[in-house]
């Protein structure tokens, strides 16, 4: 079991530079959980006492308003880590996290991760880079909400999703997930997608969306 977990940890960008002996210690101190689709991983203001590694499945990181409005900040897949900010500052969780699919997760105590970072400068640098990337991503989200109209936000969502060689977005996003990533309604997001399809930039087949002209979407979004 430990050998498998060491391999899992090795595949993360945060812990890729950590010696095998330290990875084995982290693996031995961690615990795994298997969650079904739609289950809560953690909520905002929960203690940020673990680093979460996605072994399999997908998670969404969301923030909610007092009246129930929801904005999806990011979607995480296998190999991703969650909780670097709390590892760095010792604070609570800053957002809600839920599973989008059946998922297996690894939880590593914060103190063990901090100890490894103290011994391994490359790991400490990776933690700092990860926190900086989170800050940059959230800054971009705020700027997009203020300065971009909905169709341009939809274009950026399309470009941000993993695609295969044909341009097919995979894993598939539901209409609701698209809307929450773009901070719009399903109807307005669908209208934007139809507009892109008429221009030949994408094709929509049922729930499958294929990006045909990413350069045109990027130009439209101002990238």
pLDDT tens-digit map of 112-125: 999 999 999 999 99
What's the CATH number for 149-221?
1.10.10.10
Q: Is the pLDDT of residue 68 over 80?
A: no
The band of 3, judged by pLDDT with boundaries at 50, 70 and 90, is very low
Confidence of residue 148 (pLDDT cuts 50, 70, 90): very high
Tell me, letter by letter, the H, E, C secondary structure of the chain. CHHHHHHHHHCCCCCCCCCHHHHHHHHHHCEEEEECCCCEEECCCCCCCEEEEEEECCEEEEEECCCCCEEEEEEECCCCEECHHHHHHCCCCCCEEEECCCEEEEEEEHHHHHHHHHHCHHHHHHHHHHHHHHHHHHHHHHHHHHHCCHHHHHHHHHHHCCECCCCEECCCCCHHHHHHHHCCCHHHHHHHHHHHHHCCCEEEECCEEEECCHHHHHHHHCC
2-145 to CATH, choices 2.40.40.20, 3.40.190.150, 2.60.120.10, 3.40.50.10860: 2.60.120.10
Q: What's residue 65's pLDDT? A: 84
> pLDDT tier at 207 (50, 70, 90 boundaries)?
confident
């Amino acid at each position: 079991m430990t050998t498998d977990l060491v391999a899992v940890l090795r595949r993360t960008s945060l812990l890729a530079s950590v010696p095998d002996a330290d990875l084995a210690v982290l693996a031995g101190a961690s615990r795994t959980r298997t969650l079904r689709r739609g289950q809560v991983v953690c909520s905002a203001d929960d203690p940020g006492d673990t680093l979460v590694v996605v072994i399999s499945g997908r998670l969404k990181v969301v923030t909610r308003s007092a009246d129930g409005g929801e904005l999806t900040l990011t979607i995480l897949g296998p190999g991703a880590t969650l909780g670097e900010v709390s590892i760095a500052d010792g604070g609570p969780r800053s957002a809600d996290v839920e599973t989008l699919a059946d998922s297996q997760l690894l939880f590593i105590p914060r103190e063990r991760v901090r100890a490894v970072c103290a011994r391994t400068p490359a790991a400490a640098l990776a933690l700092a880079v990860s926190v900086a990337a989170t800050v940059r991503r959230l800054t971009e989200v705020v700027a997009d909400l203020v300065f971009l109209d909905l169709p341009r936000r939809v274009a950026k969502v399309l470009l941000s999703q993993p695609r295969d060689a044909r341009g097919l977005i995979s894993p598939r996003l539901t209409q609701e997930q698209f809307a929450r990533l773009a901070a719009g309604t399903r109807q307005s997001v669908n209208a934007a997608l139809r507009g892109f399809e008429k221009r030949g930039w994408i094709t929509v087949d049922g729930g499958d969306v294929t990006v045909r002209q990413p350069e045109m979407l990027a130009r439209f979004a101002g990238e």
